[in-house]
């Protein structure tokens, strides 16, 4: 009997231990999976779940979102953070409606050609929605593969071609099994092979893990520090957008001025929102979410 591979062990563990998440349900289509992958970027699952459910209840198809105003996407995005993702998702839905008759494409190149869809998201949709053999590499997968296959504590902060190659080498040849393995690697990296306190005692690949066999060597080089939020332009942008999301009419500047006391930073944050297409300036020193008209 052939020896169990890393992928075999991961799939076996995943089938018994995977979190019950709506985008993993058999009836979750490609659009729902695409929405979930965009929302989950730099955002924890617990915050994404209510936003995901509300989003799909309002826009169950790309065409439904494309027919609405981009400002409504920003409004529905709420406090998920990085609101440009909402704008990109609206642009993506519009492209799907116009180029692909409202159906999320299953071809990797076609997915990569969609606005706001990068290497990770395209491969995630191809693997999880269309059950293709694709190396799906996010921060968690990169760390899991680096430890299990190469003995390193981590593979760095950005995905490199070598990360895709290393992950692909672990995937089974059969596409359906490869898609299961991709999901399992991601789940293991998220809940077991975590960055600071890995739970090696319950890891299904512990006996095959090169990092554990090497004595769990420490990460070389500087560690990645969490980005501060309080007092940054990001915080000011969020406060300004919160006022605009809650307004049903254009907002005068005087209402925006009260959200942050320092005028230079407030002006810079507002200008950044305008430049990013997240806010439309109107005559009379009024501001609103973009209409797309």
Containing 226, the helix (H) or strand (E) segment is: none
Distance CA 192, CA 261 (A): 43
HSE-CB at 171 with a 13 A cutoff on CA atoms is 27
Which positions ≥6 away from 248 have C-beta within 8 Å?
Answer: none
Determine if residue 105 is left, alpha or beta; phi over 0 gives left, psi from -120 to 50 gives alpha, anything else beta: beta
The tens digit of pLDDT for each residue in 178-231 reads 999 999 999 999 999 999 899 999 999 999 999 999 999 987 655 566 668 888
pLDDT at 221: 57
The tens digit of pLDDT for each residue in 216-267 reads 998 765 556 666 888 899 999 999 999 999 999 999 999 999 999 999 999 9
Quote the pTM value: 0.91
37 given a catalytic annotation: yes
3-state secondary structure of 221: coil
Single out the catalytic residue among 37, 72, 91, 187: 37
What backbone phi and psi angles, to 5 degrees, belong to 238?
-65, -40
The angle formed by the CA atoms of residues 238, 90 and 110, to the nearest 5 degrees, is 130
Specify the pairing of strand 280-282 against strand 251-252: unpaired
Torsion of CA 252, 254, 259, 261, to 10 degrees: 150
pLDDT at 30: 98
């Amino acid at each position: 009997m052939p020896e169990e591979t890393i992928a075999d062990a991961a799939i076996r563990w995943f089938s018994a231990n995977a979190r019950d998440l709506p985008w993993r349900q058999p009836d979750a289509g490609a659009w729902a999976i695409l929405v979930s992958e965009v929302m989950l970027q730099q955002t924890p699952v617990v915050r994404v779940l209510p936003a995901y459910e509300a989003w799909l209840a309002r826009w169950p198809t790309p065409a439904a979102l494309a027919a609405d105003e981009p400002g409504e996407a920003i409004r529905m995005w709420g406090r998920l953070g990085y609101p440009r993702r909402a704008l990109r998702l609206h642009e993506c839905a519009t492209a799907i409606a116009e180029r692909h008759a409202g159906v999320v494409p299953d071809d990797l190149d076609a997915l990569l050609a969609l606005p706001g869809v990068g290497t990770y998201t395209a491969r995630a949709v191809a693997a999880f929605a269309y059950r293709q053999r694709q190396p799906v590499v996010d921060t968690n997968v990169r760390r899991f593969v680096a430890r299990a296959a190469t003995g390193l504590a981590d593979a760095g902060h950005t995905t490199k071609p070598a990360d895709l190659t290393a992950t692909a080498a672990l995937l089974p040849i059969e596409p359906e099994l490869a898609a299961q393995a991709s999901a399992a690697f991601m789940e293991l990296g998220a809940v077991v092979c975590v960055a600071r306190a890995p739970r090696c005692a319950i890891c299904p690949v512990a006996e095959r893990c090169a990092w554990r066999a090497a004595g769990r060597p420490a990460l070389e080089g500087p560690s990645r520090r969490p980005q501060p939020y309080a007092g940054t332009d990001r915080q000011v942008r969020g406060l300004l957008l919160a006022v605009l999301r809650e307004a049903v009419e254009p907002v005068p500047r005087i209402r925006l001025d009260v959200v942050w006391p320092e005028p230079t930073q407030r002006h810079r944050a507002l200008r950044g929102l305008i430049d990013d297409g997240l806010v439309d300036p109107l005559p009379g020193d009024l501001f609103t979410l973009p209409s797309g008209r």
